[in-house]
C-alpha cells in the first residue's frame, strides 16, 4: 500500500477485566483499541494506526483521564460499560469496531478522477466494494456510497484515479447495551495531534459538564440533540 507508513511492533493492550472491579484508585477506566494495522503486514492501512494510538495513549496518561473518569463514579464497583472506549481503525474495514466506541478514528482517502487519462476499462468499478463508481466511458463517482478505501486507485493501471492524502474520520458517541447507538461523524483529523486535541476537548467537557455516573455516549447524544455541539 503506497500510504503504509513505518510499521510498528503491535503492542499488546492491557486485558480488560471480564467482570466488575472495585472502584479504587488505579482502576482502569479507558479501553484503547487499535486494529491490526498497528502491527506489520496489513495491506489496507491508510493511516499509521500505531502512531495515532501512541499519541492518544500519551494524552490519556498526561491528562490522567482514567483516574479522573473513575472519580465521576459513585458506586463501589466499576462495570464494563462505565469505561471510555476508544478505537483506532487504519481503514474503513474498521476491524477495531469504531462504530460502537465512545471516541474513534477511521483512516480514509478521497478519490478524484482524471478523465483524460481514463481508458474506460472499468477496473476501478470492478474493484470498488461499495459500488461507488460506474464507468460509462469515464468514471461516475457516487460520493455518498464511497467509504474512502483506495481500492479504485490500487486497481487503476492508467493513473486516472487520484487519491487525497489519508485523513481520519473522527467518530463519537457509539455504544452497545440496552439502548445501542452507532458513533456519528464529528470531524476530520489530519494527524494524530489534531485527533487528540479533539478527543481532549470532548472529554474535558464531559468531565466538567456531564452528570455523575453518566456514560460518555449518552452525554454526547444529548449534547447533539440539544444543539450544543
Render pLDDT for 29-77 as a digit per residue (tens, 0 to 9).
999 999 986 666 788 899 999 999 999 999 999 999 999 999 999 999 9
Does 41 share its domain with 101?
yes
Measured distance CA(55)–CA(57) in Å, rounded:
5
Does 125 share its domain with 213?
no
Mean local confidence (pLDDT), 91-107: 97
pTM score: 0.88
Does 55 share its domain with 103?
yes
Does 40 share its domain with 129?
no
How many independent structural domains does the chain possess? 2
Which residue, of 163, 189, 204, is where some domain finishes?
Answer: 163
Half-sphere exposure of 154 (CA within 13 A, CB side): 16
Residue 13 lies in a domain: no
Closest CA to 122 of 164, 168, 160: 160
Is the separation of the CB atoms in 52 and 168 below 8 Å? yes
Confidence tier at 6 by pLDDT (50, 70, 90): very low
Q: Is the dihedral of CA 188, 191, 197, 199 positive or negative?
A: positive
3-class DSSP state of 63: coil
Give the CATH number for residue 42: 3.30.413.10
Does 118 share its domain with 147?
yes
- Is residue 11 scored above 70 in pLDDT? no
Does 68 share its domain with 181?
yes
Does 105 share its domain with 187?
yes
Residue 17 lies in a domain: no
Instruction: For residue 63, give its domain range.
Output: 27-109+165-225
Does 58 share its domain with 157?
no
- Is residue 183 scored above 50 in pLDDT? yes
Mean local confidence (pLDDT), 102-128: 96
Give the CATH number for residue 142: 3.30.70.20
Amino acid at each position: 500500500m503506497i500510504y503504509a507508513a513505518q510499521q510498528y511492533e503491535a503492542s499488546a493492550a492491557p486485558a480488560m477485566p471480564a467482570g466488575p472491579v472495585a472502584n479504587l484508585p488505579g482502576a482502569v477506566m479507558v479501553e484503547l483499541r487499535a486494529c491490526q494495522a498497528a502491527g506489520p503486514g496489513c495491506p489496507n492501512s491508510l493511516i499509521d494506526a500505531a502512531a495515532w494510538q501512541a499519541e492518544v495513549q500519551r494524552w490519556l496518561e498526561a491528562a490522567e483521564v482514567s483516574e479522573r473518569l473513575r472519580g465521576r463514579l459513585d458506586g463501589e464497583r466499576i462495570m464494563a460499560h462505565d469505561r471510555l472506549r476508544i478505537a483506532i481503525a487504519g481503514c474503513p474495514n474498521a476491524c477495531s469496531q469504531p462504530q460502537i466506541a465512545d471516541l474513534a478514528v477511521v483512516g480514509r482517502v478521497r478519490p478524484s478522477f482524471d478523465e483524460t487519462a481514463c481508458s474506460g476499462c472499468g477496473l476501478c468499478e470492478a474493484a470498488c466494494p461499495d459500488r461507488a463508481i460506474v464507468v460509462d466511458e469515464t468514471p461516475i463517482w457516487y460520493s455518498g456510497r464511497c467509504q474512502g478505501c483506495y481500492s479504485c486507485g490500487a486497481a487503476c493501471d492508467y493513473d486516472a484515479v487520484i487519491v487525497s492524502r489519508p485523513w481520519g474520520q473522527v467518530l463519537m458517541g457509539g455504544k452497545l447495551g440496552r439502548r445501542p447507538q452507532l458513533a456519528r461523524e464529528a470531524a476530520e483529523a489530519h494527524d494524530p495531534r489534531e485527533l487528540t486535541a479533539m478527543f481532549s476537548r470532548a472529554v474535558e467537557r464531559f468531565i466538567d459538564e456531564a452528570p455523575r455516573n453518566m456514560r460518555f455516549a449518552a452525554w454526547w447524544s444529548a449534547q447533539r440533540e440539544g444543539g450544543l455541539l
